[in-house]
Structure 1
């Protein structure tokens, strides 16, 4: 079969096909653009959009407070406004704490955000970091904000757990009661003290127990070693709690429970004796005599 010869056109190349009508082209391009925007909205990260809305909205509210104020006040107003909007949207912060456990973990979570703020945009990461590092037992902290509602805090705690007072000399000790060489006691004034000969090596169980007893920890001034066999607790209000030789940790936990239920460490007691199992013996403070002015002599 003979090959088909291409058709020849008189006067030049074949004419181009007719272009699409303008109106049809506009409709087709509009439909494609709408489809593209729908996909973009579907794939858009909600945290980024949320952050923009919160920051723009917060900036608008904070701008009004800046007039007549200072830059610090305006910045704080921005965080308060953004926090209010995020909280109203149901985005309460989920605070993850790494590096510590138990009551120390709860303590860190409680100070990350300033009072009254509950969202991821309630404060700057630097402010959160400063809040955590203000705890006297924290060496350092790092803070990450993970959109839309997670704050991750990594804590490195200090080696120092207490100050050991022996023969009039103070040294810093770790959780095992061992001296921390090079640590200056003047830097750790807020740590509890352990007092007496041999108190350092014997302190490990009670120091670990104290970590989980926030009510006692807030009131404790010192552990005093008695006869190198048992402990007394000296509280900041001058009360003395006598612990048993056999189970001082259990007695400390019992004291924490009594404080939570009855507030025993805040009462007018001179001493609480927990040395006998199943018994709590208290000694009340003697009322101080009140001086009464003598009546003036009769004329």
Structure 2
């Protein structure tokens, strides 16, 4: 029968297709392997693996707090502090910068000279700093403008090792007390009507009728005499012909009619050599050419404290 069907169909019967193979299901992953191994086995970090529980976060924060506390305690135990550690790091970095070509080798100051320029120079570079990298222009400017006689300052860093500074001093130069009224004057003794004396307590005081315009030579001399200027309380005009210097200690220095500015320079020298203005003196008379007469405080007359530079 099959042969008859084959002949009627004019050919052989097609072969039967082979049976399909069944794919085996993947075995479930083991449940007892470490979490990191499971992440690698799965081909990477999944969304559910990246989730952090509140408990894990709390443990992490606790660890950070504990570590910070331990660091502070350790620093305290060593007799130091975190600030000291930061300062030590900053100084080390500053030293490296200086050694690699950024040391401050040149400071240019324009607008002032002499002792005033020295005052500016003294506040430019903080102690322990050597490199231009450590000098922020805004911070240097703030320190310079903190000087009472400075109106404004401009600070520029010229790489790799130069600091350029331009200083504008205040137009107000001194205070002038006349007939009980105190006004602000410029270097020429002209009153500055827009300035209040109460706002310029750092300026030197000149006292007496007509004292303002006459004080210019002494005020200019004081620019180069920082030790006398520091101890000055007032310049007092005497009889419209000469000056007395009143010191903050209460002592009075009588200056000659001629050469008062030269006498002030001599007074600066006596302070440098003998600390005269820090001794318990009541009066210093410099009116006689080439002579200085000193009167000690009456309460200390005959005391050896004068020779010792007493209190």
TM-score normalised per structure 1? 0.69
- Provide the residue aligned with 1:54 in structure 2: none
Alignment deviations for residues 125-184 of structure 1 (CA, whole Å, 9 cap, x no partner): 111000100000000001001111111110010011111011111100111111112011
Q: Does 1:85 align with 2:96?
A: yes
Going from structure 1 to structure 2, the CA distance change for 1:78 and 1:171 (only over 3 Å counts) comes to farther
- Provide the residue aligned with 2:12 in structure 1: none
- Provide the residue aligned with 2:179 in structure 1: 167
- Provide the residue aligned with 1:259 in structure 2: 271
Contact 1:79 1:123 survives alignment (8 Å): no
- Provide the residue aligned with 1:38 in structure 2: none
Q: Quick one: which of 142, 155, 161 aligns to 1:149?
A: 161
Q: Distance in 1 between matches of 2:270 and 2:138?
A: 39
User: Aligned residue pairs: how many?
Assistant: 224
C-alpha displacement of 1:77: 6.5
Q: Distance in 2 between matches of 1:157 and 1:119?
A: 27
Q: Distance in 1 between matches of 2:97 and 2:113?
A: 29
Structure 1 counterpart SS, 2:298: coil
C-alpha displacement of 1:120: 1.3
Q: How does 1:19-38 map to 2 (within 5 A)?
A: none
Q: Quick one: which of 193, 209, 225 aligns to 1:213?
A: 225
Going from structure 1 to structure 2, the CA distance change for 1:75 and 1:141 (only over 3 Å counts) comes to farther
Point out where structure 1 has 5 or more consecutive residues left out of the alignment. 1-63, 290-299
Q: How does 1:102-141 map to 2 (within 5 A)?
A: 102-141=114-153
Q: Quick one: which of 176, 180, 186 aligns to 2:188?
A: 176
Q: Distance in 1 between matches of 2:271 and 2:227?
A: 7
Contact 1:232 1:240 survives alignment (8 Å): yes
Q: Distance in 2 between matches of 1:133 and 1:282?
A: 39
C-alpha displacement of 1:74: 9.2
> Which of 1 and 2 has greater Rg?
2
Contact 2:104 2:163 survives alignment (8 Å): no
Point out where structure 2 has 5 or more consecutive residues left out of the alignment. 1-67, 76-81, 302-311
Give RMSD over aligned pairs.
Answer: 2.6
C-alpha displacement of 1:86: 3.1
- Provide the residue aligned with 2:59 in structure 1: none
Q: Distance in 1 between matches of 2:134 and 2:156?
A: 13
Contact 1:224 1:233 survives alignment (8 Å): yes
Contact 1:82 1:122 survives alignment (8 Å): no
Q: Distance in 2 between matches of 1:186 and 1:196?
A: 19
TM-score normalised per structure 2? 0.66
Contact 2:280 2:300 survives alignment (8 Å): no
Q: Distance in 2 between matches of 1:79 and 1:211?
A: 36
Structure 2 counterpart SS, 1:215: helix
C-alpha displacement of 1:266: 0.8
- Provide the residue aligned with 1:232 in structure 2: 244
Contact 1:194 1:200 survives alignment (8 Å): yes
